[in-house]
Amino acid sequence: RSAFDRIKRLDGQLCAILATDEDQSLRLARKADARLRAGERSPVLGLPIVIKDNLNWTGLPVSCGSRIQEGYRAPYNATVVERLIAAGAVPLAKANMDEFAMGSSGEYSAFKPTRNPWDTSLVPGGSSSGSVVAVSAGYAPFSLGSDTGGSVRLPAGFCGVTALRPTYGALSRYGLTAMASSLDQVGPIATTAADIALALQVMAGRDPMDSTSTDLPRQDGLVPLRPRNLKGLRIGLPTEYFADGLESGSRSLLEAALQVFADQGAEIRNVSLPHTRYAIDTYYLLCTSEVSSNLSRFDGVRYGHRAGAPSLPDMIAETRDQGLGPEVKRRILLGTFCLSKGYYDAFYQKAMKARTLIARDFERAFESVDILATPVSPGPAFPFGAKTNDPLAMYLADVFTVTAPLAGLPCLSMPAGLCGGLPVGIQLIGPAFSDVMLLETAHAFQ
């Protein structure tokens, strides 16, 4: 109830929440209370959580931040939601987001832009804008987002919280509305790595409903999470990430954060990831291609909104025209173009080759270091409207977050400190399936 009071008090301004079902939440809370009284213990028993509105929670809308889903309600729980509820977590609300998870600022929600609790004239970052703000503003200690190219890490950096993008496959995508399937991952968000570990413990593990899901090594090391001994840990700084694009205030903060690691005995080295310069182009070619295919299911027949029209093709065209926002349309058109005959080799296939080269850069780097440390974004949160008229400028906000997903690697964003009163994040990237080690390293820093 106190969580709902807080949401009612603050969300008129912050706009992080799209839907609630207080009766269901209170019912689940009472159930958790009874289990607790009966002596049961689980890492998340009674924990209030907030869920991004592209993840299914039975009976509630799953709008994906889009008008095309109007009236549609989730018929089943996403596996991650199901596992959290089974372990006693209490979902409170569905969180606002950029439409279909396309965006970096939270401004592309079809309903209302989410605001940054640190300064409401600034964006919170996206696309998991509502999920991150829910934790940052204290609605709930834990939330779920999704991360295709940075959607939990970028807003976590802008709002001063911690967010993990697990190794591709470590969390089931069953019940997560697909944007770009080869890149999408569910991303847990909390104030600290130790809190993320509690929920990851409950959610991780193979799911027969998602054939790309797999078990997470060392899952039993998540609770309690132990801080990693940093003595001798080799931390690599990719020189390409500390180049001109990085604002000087953020750079000094990152240097101070790295000094904290060094003071505990970590060894800091420079490494090179030479194909980083192709990352944005590669990501946006592959992402839009997959988007054009995945979003063809929103046709007015199966879900939500349906336009009235004299024929089936007209109905589909009308529904999509009315229901989808400009950024989604842009990506469907770009992706359709990339995949079309004659352009497939020039764009899609070339991007797949670049993806392999980017992944090889990481493999090579991890021959000489244990972990990589980078900025999360070129600078802190920006004002509303600063990038909405220039899609390319918006895409460039993702320059440090799209590389690890292209290689399927786990990465996290955590607060490094404040610059001009605003949070700045630091990103850690690890080898595949080093998720627990990554959290232990963050825990030692926090």
**Distance of alpha carbon 36 from alpha carbon 45, whole angstroms:** 7
Pick the catalytic residue from 151, 172, 292, 377.
151
Task: Give the three-class secondary structure for 274.
Answer: helix
User: Which of residues 284 and 445 has its CB atom nearest to ligand GLN in the complex?
Assistant: 284
User: Which of residues 64 and 216 has its CB atom nearest to ligand GLN in the complex?
Assistant: 64
**Distance of alpha carbon 171 from alpha carbon 188, whole angstroms:** 10
Active site residue 250: no
Nearest-approach distance from CB 153 to ligand GLN, in angstroms: 8
Count of CB atoms within 10 A of residue 120's CB? 13
- State CA 292 to chain mean position distance: 20
* Beta-sheet strand order (sheet of 162-165): 17-20, 90-95, 48-52, 142-147, 185-190, 162-165, 411-419, 422-429, 371-375, 234-238, 267-271
Nearest-approach distance from CB 329 to ligand GLN, in angstroms: 14
Active site residue 151: yes
**Distance of alpha carbon 414 from alpha carbon 412, whole angstroms:** 7
Identify each DSSP E strand in 272-378 by its residue range.
Answer: 371-375
Q: How many CA atoms lie within 13 A of 111 on its CB side?
A: 24
> Who's near 418: CB < 8 A, 6+ residues apart?
160, 253, 424
Nearest-approach distance from CB 236 to ligand GLN, in angstroms: 24
Nearest-approach distance from CB 301 to ligand GLN, in angstroms: 26
User: Which of residues 58 and 69 has its CB atom nearest to ligand GLN in the complex?
Assistant: 69
User: Which of residues 146 and 162 has its CB atom nearest to ligand GLN in the complex?
Assistant: 146
Task: Compute CA distances 374 → 148, 157, 239, 359, whole Å.
Answer: 18, 12, 9, 16
Task: Compute CA distances 192 → 75, 266, 385, 440, whole Å.
Answer: 32, 21, 30, 11
**What 8-state DSSP symbol labels residue 47?**
-
User: Which of residues 127 and 434 has its CB atom nearest to ligand GLN in the complex?
Assistant: 127
Task: Compute CA distances 307 → 58, 111, 276, whole Å.
Answer: 26, 19, 43
User: Which of residues 48 and 188 has its CB atom nearest to ligand GLN in the complex?
Assistant: 188
Nearest-approach distance from CB 226 to ligand GLN, in angstroms: 30
**What 8-state DSSP symbol labels residue 81?**
H
Pick the catalytic residue from 127, 129, 146, 434.
127
Residue nearest to ligand GLN (CB): 151
Nearest-approach distance from CB 280 to ligand GLN, in angstroms: 10
User: Which of residues 43 and 150 has its CB atom nearest to ligand GLN in the complex?
Assistant: 150
Pick the catalytic residue from 25, 42, 52, 63.
52
Nearest-approach distance from CB 314 to ligand GLN, in angstroms: 30
Active site residue 52: yes
The residue whose two tokens read 């804008």 is 129
| The token pair that represents 216 in the structure block | 């997470």
3-state SS, 187-250, equals: EEEECCHHHHHHHHHHHCCCCCCCCCCCCCCCHHHCCCCCCCCCCCCEEEEEHHHHCCCCCHHH
Q: Using CB under 6 A, list all residues that contact ligand GLN.
A: 101-104, 127, 146-151, 179, 287, 398
Catalytic residue positions, numbered: 52, 127, 151
